[in-house]
Amino acid sequence: MKSTTLFVSLLLASTAVLLRPVRGFVYPATPVGATVWKPNTYVTISWSDDKQAPLLSTKPVFDIFLMTGSDDHQKKLATIATDVQAGPGGVSSVKYLVPNVSPPGQIYFLMFQTKDTKATAWATRFTITDASGNPGTLRPVIPAGEKINPGGNGAIVSAPITIKPATVLAGAVHAANAKAAPVPAAAPVAAPAAATPAASGPQRQQQPAKQEGASTKKSGATQTAATSAVAVIMLAMMQAIVLA
């Protein structure tokens, strides 16, 4: 029992450490959840002091990263800025040229981290569109009863991508189904095929009819020859009687 109690205590303690908020130092002003970035455009990333150590008045030096992934499995996609100095005499924003990503959607976020990695802050997930400005459909949320946002896995790509709007995709699916329709709907297609045997039916019937006519003519000729033979025999018999 004591060993079980000790194990549970250690487990709860380790869980508390994992869930303990990481100390921040900046409060991201932009981007926010409703922010939409379009590739190959310049955007502004800004922040303010969140009143937690290290205070910006101490001129902390930090890096900014473009991120993707879930809350517990984050992935760095790019270094947006490095050796940024905030506070007095420093800066409160940077400019960034948005890269092409795949897929588009609200699955990207920023991470601010001091050079000694002792303080970290995050900007919430925002949207990066495709090359045409289409935001896509990815909007991950925290599932009911859970604490982790599953996010989504994006990537930076070298060439611009453009996705079709949902309505176009639906139309394409409909068109694909329409092309496949003749397979289940074989009855209308089979009707002309059925007409072909029907048209050739009389031709098949004509051939036996011709053969039957030939047989009839042949039979008639045989009967005529037989009648003639009988007549010759009877004439010969009559002549024999008369001579007698």
Q: Is residue 151 part of a domain?
A: yes
pLDDT of residue 83: 96
Question: Looking at the predicted structure, is the pLDDT value of residue 2 above 80?
Answer: no
Look at the chain and report how many structural domains it folds into.
Answer: 2
Map tokens 């040229």 to a residue: 97
Task: Say how far apart CA 53 and CA 126 lie, in whole Å.
Answer: 26
Reported as a pLDDT band with limits 50, 70 and 90, residue 163 is: confident
Structure-token pair, residue 88: 């007095």
Share the mean pLDDT of the chain.
74
94 vs 22: which has the higher pLDDT: 94
Q: Say yes or no: 41 and 94 in one domain.
A: yes
* Residue type (1 letter), 11: L
Structural domain including 65 reads: 20-161
* Residue type (1 letter), 80: I
Q: Which of 19-28, 38-47, 126-135, 225-234 has the lowest mean pLDDT?
A: 225-234
pLDDT of residue 30: 96
Map tokens 């790509």 to a residue: 157
Q: Say yes or no: 131 and 85 in one domain.
A: yes
Q: Say yes or no: 182 and 121 in one domain.
A: no
Query: Are 109 and 18 spatial neighbours (Cβ–Cβ below 8 Å)?
Result: no
Query: Which range scores top for mean pLDDT: 88-102, 183-197, 218-232?
Result: 88-102
Q: Is residue 230 part of a domain?
A: no
Prediction pTM value = 0.59
Question: Looking at the predicted structure, is the pLDDT value of residue 224 above 50?
Answer: yes
Phi-psi region of 145 (alpha: psi -120 to 50; beta: other; left: phi over 0): left
Q: Does a cis peptide bond (omega within 30 degrees of 0) precede residue 28?
A: no
Q: Say yes or no: 130 and 188 in one domain.
A: no
Query: Are 157 and 102 spatial neighbours (Cβ–Cβ below 8 Å)?
Result: yes
Q: Which of 109, 138, 161 is the last residue of a domain?
A: 161
- Average pLDDT of the segment spanning 113-118: 93
